[in-house]
Amino acid sequence: MKVCGGPLIMNDDMGGSERPALRFDGSWSGFFRLAFLNIILTIVTIGIYRFWAKTRVRRYLWSKTVFVDQPLEYTGRGIELLIGAMLVFLLLILPFTLLSVAASVLQGMGLGPVSMALNLVFYAAAFWLFGFAVWRAQRYRLSRTRWRGIRGGMEGDAKRYAWLSIKMTLLNLVTLGFAQPYTTVRRWNALWNDARFGSAAVHAAAEWRPLMRVFIGSWAMALVLIGVVGFWAFWQLPSGFSWPVPGQPQDPANVLALTKVAFLGLVVIAVGLVFILLRYGAALMQAVVAGTSLDTLEFRFGAGTGDWLRYYIGNLVLVVLTLGIGGLLLPYRFWSFHVRHLDAMGSLDADRLMQTTLAQPGHGEGLADALDIGAV
Partner 1 sequence: MIRGQLFDGLSARAQPVELEASEDALIVRLAGETERLIWSRLRRGGPVPDARVIKDVVRPDWSVQLDVAMSAEWASRMVSVDAADRRDLMQMGAASMLTVLAGVGLWFFGGPLLAGLAPLIPQSVLAPMGQAIADDMGPVCDDAAGKAAAAALLARLTPTGAFPEPVSLRIVDRPVVNAVALPGGQVVLFRKLVEEAESADELAGVLAHELAHIEAKHPAKLMVRLFGLSLIVRAFGGGAAGMADEMLLLGSSRAAEAEADAGAVRILQRAGISPAPTAAFFERQAKDGAKRGEIIQTLEGYARSHPADAERAKLFRDAGDEKATSPALNAGMWQSLRGSCAVVKR
Residues at the site binding partner 1, with contacts judged by CB under 8 A: 3-5, 39, 41-52, 70, 75, 77-79, 82, 85-86, 88-89, 93-94, 97, 101, 104-109, 115, 146-151, 198, 348, 350-355, 369-370
Question: How near is the Cβ of 268 to partner 1 at its closest, in Å?
Answer: 35
Q: Which is nearer to partner 1, 115 or 286 (CB)?
A: 115
- The distance of closest approach from Cβ of residue 351 to partner 1 in the complex, given in angstroms and rounded to an integer, is 5
26: number of Cβ within 10 Å: 16
* Strands, sheet with 292-294, edge to edge from the N-terminal-most edge strand: 7-9, 342-349, 297-301, 292-294, 200-204, 195-197, 150-154, 145-147, 73-74
- Rounded least distance, CB 328 to partner 1, Å: 13
217 to each of 45, 224, 243, 340, 351, how far by Cα in Å? 51, 10, 34, 28, 46
**CA 331 from centre of chain:** 12
CB of 149 to partner 1, least distance (A): 4
Closer by beta carbon to partner 1, 169 or else 360: 360
CB of 60 to partner 1, least distance (A): 12
**CB neighbours of 202 closer than 8 A, spacing ≥ 6?**
192, 193, 194, 195, 196, 292, 293, 294
How far apart CA 90 and CA 238 sit, in angstroms, is 66
Phi/psi at 194 (5° precision): -85, -10
Residue closer to partner 1 (CB basis): 79 or 266: 79
325 burial level (CB within 10 Å; 0-12, 13-18, 19+) = middle
Residue with smaller CB distance to partner 1, 36 or 89: 89
**Cβ distance to partner 1 smaller for residue 164 or 353:** 353
Q: Which of 73, 71, 358, 74 is nearest to 199 (CA)?
A: 358
In which element (H, E) is residue 96 found? Answer: helix 94-108
Say which amino acid occupies 311: Y
- Complex with partner 1: residue 81 or 283, whichever CB lies closer: 81
CA distance 290 to 189: 12
Q: Closer CB to partner 1, residue 150 or residue 166?
A: 150
Q: Supply the minimum distance, in Å, between the C-beta of residue 353 and partner 1.
A: 4
Kindly state the smallest distance separating residue 161's Cβ from partner 1, in Å.
24
The least distance separating partner 1 from the CB of residue 194, rounded to whole angstroms, comes to: 21
Considering the complex, state which of residue 88 and residue 206 has its C-beta at the smaller distance from partner 1.
Answer: 88
Three-class SS state of 9 = strand
DSSP-assigned beta bridge partners for residue 347: 9
